[in-house]
């Protein structure tokens, strides 16, 4: 095809492949200039190539010939889309979404329990505290050196626990949000990020925490890592 200047090229795709194309474009950092729904039900995404040409992926239903001819083309394309379209997900996105939601739920439970225990310890310190309560009394009477005497070790301990809980809850929120919006988010960025964060938490759990949170973090991180592997297949 010969042309001078910027051109417009449209590529026909199956309707079920549109979310995968949109996700792939987002993962590549390609801006979608326009999303359009046509009169006869067709949907299109418009974007630019590096040379500035306007490209379009469009589903059947753009013109009034949306009938047997288009349906036949659509069925033929759908039958072979796994082999011919690199944008088509090779793994079912519901499975990835389920793993993200499961992993996020595990992190959410851990973060929520840690928050509740910290709140309860404000009035009745017997959970995230030393077995020897005289140590807690000593913490309350000892200033934190970096604070210049403006806070004590007990108050700092409570603050550290709340901060830790918030971090875990934010990881849970990110995973749940990604799980429920898996078709529109750049999974190529979110999944490895969640897996890396989970691995960091697991190292901390093994070095400084105890058995239950270590097991929980391992389960949640395993869900994130499995979802990541599935997204690459």
What string of pLDDT tens digits covers the 233 residues of the chain? 555 667 888 888 888 888 999 899 988 889 998 888 887 778 889 999 888 888 999 888 776 554 434 444 444 444 444 444 433 444 457 899 999 999 999 999 999 999 999 999 998 888 999 999 899 899 999 999 999 889 999 999 999 999 999 999 999 999 999 999 887 778 888 999 999 999 999 999 999 999 999 999 999 999 999 999 998 87
Q: What is the pLDDT of residue 96?
A: 92
Domain ranges of the chain: 8-84, 93-232
Q: What is the pLDDT of residue 176?
A: 96
Q: What is the rounded distance in angstroms from the CA atom of residue 117 to the CA atom of residue 170?
A: 18
Query: Which residues touch 188 (CB under 8 Å, ≥6 apart)?
Result: 27, 231
* Residue whose C-alpha is closest to residue 59's, from 43, 74, 70, 46: 43
Percent helix, strand, coil in the chain (nearest 5)? Answer: 60, 10, 25
| pLDDT of res. 80 | 47
Please tell me the predicted confidence (pLDDT) of residue 117. 95
Cα dihedral 174/180/182/188 (nearest 10)? 10
Sheet holding 8-12, edge to edge: 8-12, 54-58, 43-48, 32-37
Q: What is the pLDDT of residue 196?
A: 97
- Residue entry with tokens 């329990």: 113
Choose which CATH entry (3.10.180.10, 3.90.1150.10, 3.40.50.10490, 3.90.700.10) describes domain 8-84.
3.10.180.10
> How far is 198 from 193, CA to CA, in rounded Å?
9
DSSP state of 152: B
């Amino acid at each position: 095809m010969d042309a001078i200047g910027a051109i417009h090229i449209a590529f026909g795709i199956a309707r079920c492949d549109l979310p995968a194309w949109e996700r792939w474009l987002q993962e590549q950092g390609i801006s979608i200039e326009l999303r359009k729904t046509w009169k006869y039900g067709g949907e299109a995404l418009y974007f630019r190539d590096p040379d500035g040409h306007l490209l379009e992926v469009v589903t059947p239903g753009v013109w009034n010939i949306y009938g047997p001819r288009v349906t036949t083309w659509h069925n033929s394309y759908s039958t072979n889309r796994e082999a011919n379209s690199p944008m088509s997900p090779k793994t079912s996105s519901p499975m990835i979404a389920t793993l993200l939601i499961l992993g996020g739920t595990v992190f959410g439970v851990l973060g929520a329990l840690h928050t509740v225990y910290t709140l309860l310890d404000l009035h009745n310190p017997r959970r995230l505290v030393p077995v020897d309560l005289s140590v807690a009394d000593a913490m309350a009477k000892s200033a934190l050196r970096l604070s210049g005497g403006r806070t004590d070790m007990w108050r700092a301990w409570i603050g550290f626990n709340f901060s830790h809980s918030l971090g875990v809850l934010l990881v849970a929120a990110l995973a749940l949000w990604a799980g429920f919006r898996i078709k529109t988010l750049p999974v190529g960025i979110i999944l490895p990020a969640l897996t890396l964060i989970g691995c960091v938490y697991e190292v901390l759990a093994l070095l400084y925490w105890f058995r239950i949170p270590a097991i929980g973090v391992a389960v949640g991180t395993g869900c994130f890592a499995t979802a990541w592997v599935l997204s690459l297949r």
